[in-house]
A and B are shown apart, each in its own frame.
Chain A
Amino acid sequence: MKMQLVKIAHARSGDKGDTANIGLIALHYDFYPVLVREVTSTRVKEHFKGICKGDVERFELPNLGALNFLLHKSLDGGGTLSLMTDAQGKTFSTALLRMEVEIPDTEANRLGLDKR
């Protein structure tokens, strides 16, 4: 089944210069493997097409059930240079939560995701 990340994760985002960071956190530790498997840096780069003009790096934090993404060249120069409403990348968090991932029906059923 297809499922939007907002059903299985929460997130917070911020900035370091022209790089936006997004911490994506599984709502339950059991959902973390789904995030690790589905939310790859390639998919995130594709998701943010037209927004992220640089590379996407991904880091795993299994202890928090979280992934950290760095989206380089995403903030129109960042900081005080940027003309963007969201020059600090604060809303990149929910922009990522829009992403749809494919979860096999058996796994979705086992994790109780089909009822979400």
Chain B
Amino acid sequence: MKQTIRVAAGQGFWGDLPEAPVHQVEGGPVDYLMLDYLAEVTMSIMQKQKARDPDAGYAKDFVPLMKRILPTCVERNIRVTANAGGVNVRGCADAVVGVGRELGFGGKLQIGIVTGDDIMSRLDEFLDSGIELRNMDTGEPLSSVRERIQSANVYLGAWPMVDALNRGAQVVITGRVTDTGLTLAPLIHEFGWKANDWDKMSSGTIAGHIIECGAQASGGNCQFEWQNIPDMANVGFPIAEASADGSFVITKHEGSGGRVNVQSVKEQLVYEMGDPHAYITPDCVADFTTIQLEDAGKNRVRVFGIKGRPVTDSLKVSISYSAGFKAVGTLVYAWPDAYAKAQAADRILRERLELLGLRFEQVLTEFVGVNATHGPLAGPPSADAAEVQLRIGVRGPDRSSVERFTKEIAPLILTGPPAVTGFAGGRPKVEEIVAYWPALIPREIISPKVEVFEA
């Protein structure tokens, strides 16, 4: 058994720096590359793509990425865990198999897939048996949006991926699994941790939490002394260097930019945190109040002392449903009296919407440069402001009303306050809203499926 296992983060979300995973496998020693592609609403986007094209529905960029890095991964025995499969895990795996054969790895490369997260076809069965899948935030039962559901996936944990790794998979492709499981699975596999060793499950989970947002742990979006973080153009993505006892060091490749220090790690630890005593995953309940951090040299932070508790009876389900339409329009007003002009334009526009008899669930006006991020906390704007952007959005169930709104923005240029510009992009786009419905489901009725096959 190796003393330490290095798990490198390659993508913090679908659309993260394309070069990052390449740098992670080529820039220094790593044992695993984990790639997190699935944000909360990503599954619904993929579901839509699959509805149009049965071969689509996964993170397409993963395939050319694998073509680029597979030779290095095979040569250095770097194994990959990725939730790139989205709602078409098999399609994604087939494409990777194709790439593997093209590269001459036919018969030499094991691909593992994890499915069973997609419960779309079982929803009625569940609802009929009294599982209400109530919204965890609002308490509403799922039946209130049943007709509008577009996707439903259970967050699976690390264990199905462990199974795939145990069976020799070099690349493990999954649908909806927890971001943290992508890091925990390799550690369980390597160190032979037991499922009821809750402290170790929690340690690996927290290692995963720290690296799952990519460079957010290594200098990106870091408030602490952000001006002095070196060479962000070449920011190194984080690496968790874990030991069998559950402790680990967060670091990054030598020579890369950015910074890993106690502060950058703390900032990522508190990111999207709920109750720190109970960070609930399918693999454990981790206690963030037990985490100890220690400066372990340049760009090295040691994390240890983590405690955890047994798993809960439920798994989280991420359901997406169609929730109407929205559009956002913007115009820029220039000095003098930029803010007053933008406010006047907002009043005129709202009056016109009123006269047209258009009704919306929500009409939201923001003045960028004045209050768009900090609202009233920003205080009154400078009377001398060079420009203010009027940003107005509407949301409602009826597409045609939202469509009609989009035609009212550009006319303000010739029919409203002066010194206005910023309409090069054309009419605002009407977007269909696919909203997120988090729910819980009894763990025992979900059966993950693992397959490993040769490329």
1/0 per residue, CB under 8 A from B, across A10-38: the answer is 11111111110101010100000000000
A93 touches B274 (CB 8 A): no
Q: Within A37-80, which residues are at the interface with B (CB < 8 Å)?
A: 47-51, 59-66, 68, 70, 76-77, 79-80
Inter-subunit contact B276/A21 (CB<8 Å): no
Write the nearest CB–CB distance from A98 to chain B, whole angstroms: 5
* 0/1 interface trace, chain B 273-291, chain A, CB 8 Å (1 if under): 1111100000000001111
With an 8 A cutoff between CB atoms, is B137 at the interface? yes
B129 within 8 A of A: no
User: Given that A25-B263, A47-B377, A91-B374 are known contacts, is A80 also in contact with B270, CB under 8 Å in the complex?
Assistant: no
Within 8 Å by CB of A83, from B137, B269, B364, B438, lies B364
Is A111 located at the chain interface by the 8 A CB criterion?
no
Q: Which residues of B contact A68 (CB under 8 A)?
A: 270, 273-274, 276
Q: Which residues of B contact A81 (CB under 8 A)?
A: 323, 326, 395, 433, 435
**B368 is an interface residue with CB less than 8 A from chain A:** yes
B436-A79 in contact (CB<8A): yes
Report if B41 contacts A (CB, 8 A).
yes
Interface contact A79-B41, CB-CB below 8 Å? yes
CB closest chain-A residue, reference B394: A83
B275 touches A10 (CB 8 A): no
B372 at the interface (CB under 8 A from A): yes
Cβ-based interface call for A95 (8 A): yes
Q: Is A84 an interface residue (CB 8 A)?
A: yes
- Are the CB atoms of A18 and B137 closer together than 8 Å? yes
Residue of A10, A16, A80 touching B41 (CB-CB under 8 A): A80
Indicate if the CB atoms of A94 and B271 lie closer than 8 Å. Answer: no
Number of interface residues of A (CB under 8 A): 44
Cβ-based interface call for B373 (8 A): yes
A42 → B minimal CB distance (Å): 17
A24 to B: closest C-beta gap in Å = 8
* Pairwise interchain contact B293-A64, C-beta atoms closer than 8 A: yes
CA distance A91 to B368 in the complex (A): 13
**Interface check B223, CB cutoff 8 A:** yes
Nearest to B395 among chain A residues (CB) is: A83
- A97 and chain B: residue at smallest CB distance: B223
Point out the residues of chain A lying under 8 angstroms from B328, CB to CB. 83
Task: Tell me the nearest residue of chain A to B265, going by C-beta.
Answer: A64
Among A12, A15, A17, the residue within 8 A (CB) of B223 is: A12
Minimum distance in angstroms from B449 CB to a CB of chain A: 29
- Contact indicator B263/A10 (Cβ below 8 Å): yes
With a cutoff of 8 Å between Cβ atoms, the chain A residues found around residue B54 in the complex are none
Contact digits for B417-448, partner A, Cβ 8 Å, 1 yes 0 no: 00000000000000001111010000000000
Question: Which of A18, A27, A83 gathers most chain B CB within 10 Å?
Answer: A83
Bound together, the chains give a CA A23 to CA B393 distance in angstroms of 29
CB pair A93 B436 closer than 8 Å: no
A3 CB to closest chain B CB (Å) equals 17
How far, in whole Å, are A77 and B434 apart by their CA atoms in the complex? 12
Chain A proximity of B316: nearest CB distance (Å):
11
Instruction: Kindly supply a per-residue 1/0 record for chain B positions 366-388, scoring 1 wherever the CB is within 8 Å of any chain A CB and 0 otherwise.
Output: 10100011111100000000000
Contacts of A62 in B (CB 8 A): 289
CB pair B263–A16 under 8 Å, yes or no, is no
Beta-carbon contact of B373 and A85 below 8 Å: yes
> Is the beta-carbon distance between B376 and A49 smaller than 8 angstroms?
yes
User: How far is A68 from B391 in the complex, measured between Cα atoms in Å?
Assistant: 31
**B272 contacts partner chain A, Cβ-Cβ < 8 Å:** yes
Question: With an 8 A cutoff between CB atoms, is A86 at the interface?
Answer: yes
B221 at the interface (CB under 8 A from A): yes
**Closest CB of chain A to B302's CB: distance in Å?**
14
Docked Cα-Cα span, A21 to B435, in Å, equals: 20
- Asked whether, in the complex, the Cβ of A63 is within 8 Å of the Cβ of B373, the reply is no
Q: Is B267 an interface residue (CB 8 A)?
A: yes
Chain B positions 342 through 382: 1 when the CB is less than 8 Å from some CB of chain A, otherwise 0: 00000000000000000000101010100011111100000
Given the known interface contacts A59-B277, A86-B372, the answer about A64 and B364 at a Cβ–Cβ threshold of 8 Å is no
CB<8 Å pairs between A and B, sample of 6: A11-B267, A59-B275, A64-B266, A80-B433, A93-B223, A94-B374
B-binding residues in A (CB < 8 A): 10-19, 21, 23, 25, 27, 47-51, 59-66, 68, 70, 76-77, 79-81, 83-86, 90-91, 93-95, 98
**B residues whose Cβ falls under 8 Å from a Cβ of A:** 40-41, 137, 221, 223-224, 263, 266-277, 288-293, 323, 326, 328, 362, 364, 366, 368, 372-377, 391, 393-395, 433-436, 438
**8 A-B pairs with the lowest CB-CB distances in the bound complex, closest first:** A23-B270, A83-B393, A14-B272, A83-B364, A91-B373, A12-B267, A85-B372, A10-B223
